Structure 1
Amino acid sequence: MKLLNQIKEKVRKLKAEIQVLIFAYSDKRTPLLAKLVIGITVGYLLSPIDLIPDFIPILGLLDDLIIVPLLIMWSIRLIPPYILVEARKSVAENPRKLQKTNWIFAIIVLSIWIFLLYFAYQKFGDLIFKYL
């Protein structure tokens, strides 16, 4: 139980870095690959849909304990150190709160998921229903 609490604490600290990533994303000096990974990371965090739904026991926490921290760490590694320092300073001076209330973003993410499910159905639907 103690290990799980330690892991959760590290995840909370990593999630605090999201604001830093958003500031770094808006910096013109941030490389394109870093911006792409930051966009995926923030998009996944703000997405109303998880790869593994939270209501599934134990497995539901995997995205919060594995996928999200890996995306955050990858994003941070791609950002040049001087931009990270400036972004952390900006966050310390002007903290923002992230909210999951952006309906336009939710509609875009939902549309992507529907497209992916439709594609999977078109590609593998016959195979799936053959065995049902």
Structure 2
Amino acid sequence: MRRLLSFLKVFRYDLIVLLMAIRHRDTPGRIKGILAAAILYLVSPVDIIPDAVPLAGVVDDAIIVPAVIYGLTNMLPSHVRRYAETRADQATRYMPVVLIAASLFVLVWLGLIVYGLWRLLFA
């Protein structure tokens, strides 16, 4: 379980580093394109193993996308990676506050949807 949690932490950090590097002007276009293709693969219904196949359909996404992100962070030029890592360190410092705020935002919207449906159906 510890290995899985450490892997998820590394994956999350690499994803944040990559997202910060995308905004840098010296990031190669092929890295941006491969990241866009990986995101499209993640949300696309067309996969190597379809998502309708129980467990195996999700496992291929869970293996391919982190591997691509890990490879792309290693492909970054050194000065871009240093810049992105400093920006990612600054961003992860506020991550718990952002997660709490996002959770509250989602809960308020869900509450408004339930309230609206309740008023629509029973009023």
TM-score normalised per structure 2: 0.57
Residue 61 of structure 1 and its aligned partner are, at CA, apart by: 2.1
Q: Which runs of 5+ in 1 are unaligned?
A: 100-132
Question: What is the match of residue 58 of structure 2?
Answer: 60
Aligned residues: 94
Change in CA separation of 1:87 and 1:44 when aligned onto 2, cut-off 3 Å = farther
Question: What is the match of residue 90 of structure 1?
Answer: 87
Change in CA separation of 1:24 and 1:36 when aligned onto 2, cut-off 3 Å = same
Q: Which deviates the most, 30-39 or 90-99?
A: 90-99
Instruction: Find the aligned partners of 1:82 and 1:50 in 2 and give their Cα distance.
Output: 36
Question: What is the match of residue 10 of structure 2?
Answer: 13
Question: What is the match of residue 69 of structure 2?
Answer: 72
Instruction: Find the aligned partners of 1:83 and 1:32 in 2 and give their Cα distance.
Output: 13
Identity across matched positions, percent: 18
Q: Which deviates the most, 82-91 or 32-41?
A: 32-41
Asked if 2 retains the 8 angstrom alpha-carbon contact of 1:37 and 1:74, the reply is: no
Residue 50 of structure 1 and its aligned partner are, at CA, apart by: 7.4
Larger Rg: 2
TM-score normalised per structure 1: 0.54
Q: What code does the residue aligned with 2:59 have?
A: L
Q: Which runs of 5+ in 2 are unaligned?
A: 103-123
Deviations 1:68-111 (A, max 9, x none): 12211221122112211110111111346698xxxxxxxxxxxx
- Secondary structure of 1:41's aligned partner: helix
Instruction: Find the aligned partners of 1:50 and 1:20 in 2 and give their Cα distance.
Output: 27
User: Which has the larger helix fraction?
Assistant: 2
